[in-house]
Structure 1
Amino acid sequence: MEQEPIALIVGVTGMVGVALAEALKNPTVLGGPWQVYGVSRHPLPSWFPSSYLDKHIILDTLNKENTHKTLAPLSSCITHVFWLAISVNESEELNISYNSTMLSNVLDTLTSGSPNSKLKHVTLQTGTQQYMGPIHDLALSVQLVPHEAPFREDYPRLNFPNFYHALEDIVASYPKYFTYSIHRASIIIGASSRSYYNSLLSLSIYALICKYENYPFRYPGNKFSWEHFWDMSDARLLAEQQIWASVTNKAKNQAFNCTNGDVFTWKMLWRVLCDVFDVEFVPFDENEKFHFVNFMKDKGQVWDKIVEENGLYKTKMEEVTCFPAVDVVLKLEIQHVCSMNKSREFGFHGYANTLASIEPWVERLRQMKILPK
């Protein structure tokens, strides 16, 4: 009798971690029923449903000794690793060092007990910097020439340091132990207070502060991004694709884009945000200089008031937003769109309606008491 699959979600409290834990506990999930173990650096927040996990592990995977001590006893039962963890640093060289160390520590531990290791498959979540290069490394970003959109999985690697490349090379270096799949996300939308690149939560807090202080809710990007096509990745869709790849033989040792399958302009999405938060739509004016990061820099106390007055889950604006990253992305002058053809050709047909998904995700953040009702 085949062993019941046991998933280890590393980064379980992030947007996709929450969605993945929820999906794996669905009675009709592929490959199920699953046992679900979740790893995070800190205790579970109050908004995280305990029913999603059979076991929660507090662990800093940068610490090799602790990782081995904590995970070695589980190497005889973990069958699947879902790698969602990320360490974000000021340079891409540091990103490579930290993220490679984290992943290697976990995989070395889970395979060190071979032949008793039960690990069958590892999913690795990366993103569209695969096609653009390290856009958040200020020293490198000025030199980048991204691939042409729509981004395709068979594009060659750009000749720049990229921690995604390092992680892909690590998972591919264990052929005797397990198969793997790579999942390249666009801008992820979901519900968590524990994701570093959380554009929806950042823009929601920006909208709420504008409303509270009676500021205009201005678009912080450029005319190009306002008018040209973009795509996003719904956290539930990412979870669905990763589960599919982890139990589908044809998908083994492959890289897949994972986006909603539609496109939008920021002008369209801005109208949706205005409706959701009941703020006035302000047309983009390229002649009006607006320094988004500077504008938000001193708004932490306003957010503290909103949290206090609405009895929200305690968050600090600086810890749950990524305004500099949003600023960089919305000033890109490229069409940020991925091809989903390969994924469909391999048999994954999941999709999401981007504009229609914004309000439900905001509502989920309200139910979690991260945002006010």
Structure 2
Amino acid sequence: MSDVALVVGASGIIGSATAHELAGQGWTVHGLARRPPTDVPGLQPVAADLLDPTSLEAALKDVAPTHVFLTSWMRNATEAENIKVNAGMVRNVLAALSPRKSVRHVGLVTGLKHYLGPFDAYAKGEMQTPFREEQPRLPIENFYYAQEDEVYAASARDGFTWSIHRPHTVIGKAVGNLMNMGTTLAVYASICKETGRPFRWPGSEAQWNGLSDVTDARVLAKHLLWAATTEAAHNEAFNVVNGDVFRWRWLWKRLAGWFGVEAAGFDGNVRPLEAEMANDAPIWRQIAERHQLVEPDLTKLASAWHTDLDVGRPMEVMADMTKSRKLGFTVFQPTEDSFFDLFERLRADRLIP
């Protein structure tokens, strides 16, 4: 049987990178989203509302994937609502596909909030890093756990294998994404250059001086494909990061240098980016008009709130990759190149000047 993928959340950073990777490897790829992308070569778009079972059943009636990659989520006001909505999306997709009995493997992308806790209890309490997959769930409600449980239940019902993928901050291109540190920093640096402001570190001392890592969307896409096609990786959960570590006090200056702006490091105070960029929407619209950029709406490019969450943590955070390495996943990506590659693509696509 030929490999047929359904990428759920194909318009996001992770979903679009996964669709590119699979199509490039010769897979038939269906991309499911409310507004699926049209710029991924070979992608067959499937438009549906993940919260509407009737919409999903109609959209997927002629789709019989062998592999499903779940990369979508929605942010809500409370964790109880996050659980209801995000677990419901996973449940709805797998229920719509269940009658076809075509699915052989499901890959679910969650993240390090598995270890750090949900938004309303984030990075609170004593935690041990690097995070390792065998660490138990936190004794607190978490929509990642609820999503996992939906996959486990559907696997028991339908007989497919699964893999869970826990990236750190994902660096890649997407427009309108809720969590987009790379593009947020590119937009912020571009504003700093245009206005003469310093490229000011917004986060905590612990993050400035501590070790960290990130996940290139291209690495995550390769990891999803690897786990789906490697028997030893079936029915396992994995961390997935670039493979190197860095300190922001080193990387921040290098990011500033790429844009030709002045880097301002930690000065004893946390200076949230959300507040720093609160009045920048009109400035960005002027920049976009002057440089003929394709997206003048700052809110569709920058997610300052999420960048603040990452760089404001009171502890250093990194994830251990030993489990994947021992099973044969050897992809490595220098983090500096992850950012620079993204910046070059954003500039080529006229999203930044």
Q: Sort the TM-score into its range (normalised by shorter chain).
A: over 0.9
- Counterparts of 2:330 and 2:164 in 1: how far apart (Å)? 17
Gaps of 5+ in 1: none
Aligned counterpart, 1:342:
323
Which string of whole-angstrom CA distances, capped at 9 and with x for unpartnered residues, describes residues 167-204 of structure 1?
11111112243111000000110111132110011111
- Counterparts of 2:304 and 2:28 in 1: how far apart (Å)? 36
CA-CA distance at 1:9 after TM superposition:
0.6
Which of the numbers 146, 164, 185 marks the counterpart of 1:182? 164
Give the match's secondary structure for 1:279: coil
1:78-227 alignment, distance < 5 Å: 78-111=65-98, 113=99, 116-134=100-118, 136-137=119-120, 140-141=121-122, 144-173=124-153, 174-175=155-156, 176-227=158-209
Q: Judging changes above 3 Å, is the alpha-carbon distance between structure 1 residues 249 and 42 closer, same or farther for their aligned structure 2 residues?
A: same
Report runs of 4+ in structure 1 exceeding 4 Å deviation. Answer: none
1:34 is matched by which residue type in structure 2?
W
CA-CA distance at 1:239 after TM superposition:
0.4
- Counterparts of 2:330 and 2:272 in 1: how far apart (Å)? 40
Q: Judging changes above 3 Å, is the alpha-carbon distance between structure 1 residues 164 and 352 closer, same or farther for their aligned structure 2 residues?
A: same
1:366 is matched by which residue type in structure 2?
R
Give the match's secondary structure for 1:82: strand
Aligned counterpart, 1:357:
338
- Counterparts of 1:190 and 1:107 in 2: how far apart (Å)? 27
Aligned counterpart, 2:350:
369
2:282 is matched by which residue type in structure 1?
Q
Which of the numbers 35, 58, 77 marks the counterpart of 1:69? 58
- Counterparts of 1:159 and 1:152 in 2: how far apart (Å)? 17
CA-CA distance at 1:43 after TM superposition:
4.9
1:38 equivalenced with 2:19 (yes/no): no
Give the match's secondary structure for 1:127: coil
Q: Is the 8 A contact 1:192 1:365 kept in 2?
A: no
Aligned counterpart, 1:318:
299
- Counterparts of 1:165 and 1:276 in 2: how far apart (Å)? 39
CA-CA distance at 1:369 after TM superposition:
2.1
Gaps of 5+ in 2: none
CA-CA distance at 1:322 after TM superposition:
1.6
Q: Is the 8 A contact 1:225 1:333 kept in 2?
A: yes
- Counterparts of 2:6 and 2:23 in 1: how far apart (Å)? 13
Give the match's secondary structure for 2:61: helix
- Counterparts of 1:300 and 1:82 in 2: how far apart (Å)? 34
Which string of whole-angstrom CA distances, capped at 9 and with x for unpartnered residues, describes residues 212-248 of structure 1?
1111111001211111000000101000010011111
Give the match's secondary structure for 1:42: coil
Percent identity, aligned pairs only?
A: 35
CA-CA distance at 1:326 after TM superposition:
1.4
- Counterparts of 1:117 and 1:204 in 2: how far apart (Å)? 44
Instruction: Give aligned pairs, total.
Output: 351
CA-CA distance at 1:291 after TM superposition:
4.3
Q: Is the 8 A contact 2:11 2:35 kept in 1?
A: no
Q: Is the 8 A contact 2:4 2:28 kept in 1?
A: yes
Aligned counterpart, 2:4:
6
Which string of whole-angstrom CA distances, capped at 9 and with x for unpartnered residues, describes residues 277-326 of structure 1?
1101223211x563432221111111111222222222421233221221
Which string of whole-angstrom CA distances, capped at 9 and with x for unpartnered residues, describes residues 112-136 of structure 1?
x1xx4211111000100011101x2
Q: Is the 8 A contact 1:190 1:235 kept in 2?
A: yes
1:302 equivalenced with 2:283 (yes/no): yes
1:294 is matched by which residue type in structure 2?
A
- Counterparts of 1:60 and 1:188 in 2: how far apart (Å)? 24
- What's the TM-score once normalised by structure 1's chain length? 0.90
CA-CA distance at 1:370 after TM superposition:
1.8
Q: Is the 8 A contact 2:289 2:296 kept in 1?
A: no
Aligned counterpart, 1:25:
23
Aligned counterpart, 2:255:
273
Q: Judging changes above 3 Å, is the alpha-carbon distance between structure 1 residues 24 and 255 closer, same or farther for their aligned structure 2 residues?
A: same
- Counterparts of 1:232 and 1:168 in 2: how far apart (Å)? 22
Q: Judging changes above 3 Å, is the alpha-carbon distance between structure 1 residues 256 and 263 closer, same or farther for their aligned structure 2 residues?
A: same
- Counterparts of 2:130 and 2:270 in 1: how far apart (Å)? 30
Q: Is the 8 A contact 1:132 1:146 kept in 2?
A: no
Aligned counterpart, 2:313:
332
- Counterparts of 1:289 and 1:339 in 2: how far apart (Å)? 28
Q: CA RMSD in A?
A: 1.6
Q: Judging changes above 3 Å, is the alpha-carbon distance between structure 1 residues 343 and 368 closer, same or farther for their aligned structure 2 residues?
A: same
